[in-house]
Structure 1
């Protein structure tokens, strides 16, 4: 028997700070930067068609979110300011991106460095986010909390 996927109880787009805030019915809350969402788009254009076929996304530090459209009761489809709009972000995938944010972000930074683009993101993962394990919320300079 599988555990039911947590369902979102709130989604807020913060264009000024470039983050998507999402809360789930299990109490988890995440603040996902647009750049992070863009570089981990679930689209075939980014992910390829199998393991090892991913395309490293460059120059997405200042990407914006033009729209966020619901897809049934299971996903959202963002349109980013660079025109990318082919990724369907299911609730399960958004939850994974939130729960694994620190690890996935570091992998992205490591991949940039390995590809010879260490400053492309312009962010330092450790300075930008600390994971508060109890709630799953990621605190950083743009999460809206006073630090």
Structure 2
């Protein structure tokens, strides 16, 4: 994950809204975003979601009802949410939260395009990865 850009505004207020399923973040430049939990979960910056390189992303589905069950600060640069589906390995830097908030419409559109390309939808459960076939000789 890239370090903080020194010009990125920093959060002045972070509020978890369970009923509306959004993380409200107010920034030092006056911007205020209401970032849906689902968007955060789908675009989690974790290796589990992003993969370890281009083309290794795992398309996330079935996250519309996901909640944030805990939100831990990480130094003075990020927060680490724990989601109700057990995912908790994504570190959301201030830069990344700002990017999610500022580009929400485009990110939703990109997500819908990726879902359509995969023949998937937002509500279907995540596919369980099949175990690797045994290569042992008998």
- TM-score of the superposition, structure 1-length normalised? 0.78
In structure 2, the residue matched to 1:8 is 11
Q: Does 1:37 align with 2:25?
A: no
Deviation at 1:118, TM superposition (A): 3.4
Alignment of 1:1-147 (within 5 A): 4-118=7-121, 120=123
Offset, 1:120? 2.8
SS in 1 for 2:39: helix
Shift of 1:3: 5.5
Q: For the Cα contact (< 8 Å) 2:62–2:122, is it kept in 1?
A: no
Would you say the 8 A contact 1:11–1:23 is kept in 2? Answer: yes
CA contact (8 A) 2:79 2:91 kept: yes
- For structure 1, the residue ranges without an aligned partner over 5 or more in a row are 122-147
4+ residue stretches of structure 1 with deviation over 3 A?
Answer: none
Residue 114 of structure 1 and its aligned partner are, at CA, apart by 1.1
Q: TM-score, normalised by structure 2?
A: 0.83
The whole-number CA distance in structure 2 between the counterparts of 1:21 and 1:65 is 12
Aligned length in residues? 120
CA-CA distance at 1:98 after TM superposition: 0.8
Residue 54 to residue 6, structure 1, CA distance change in 2 (3 Å): same
Per the alignment, in what secondary structure is the counterpart of residue 52 of structure 1? Answer: coil
Pairwise CA RMSD of aligned residues? 1.4
What are the ranges of 5 or more consecutive residues in structure 2 without an aligned counterpart?
125-138
Larger radius of gyration: 2
- Residues 117, 79 of structure 1: CA spacing in aligned structure 2 closer, same or farther, 3 A cutoff? same
- Given that 2:68 and 2:83 are in contact with CA atoms closer than 8 Å, whether structure 1 keeps it comes out as yes
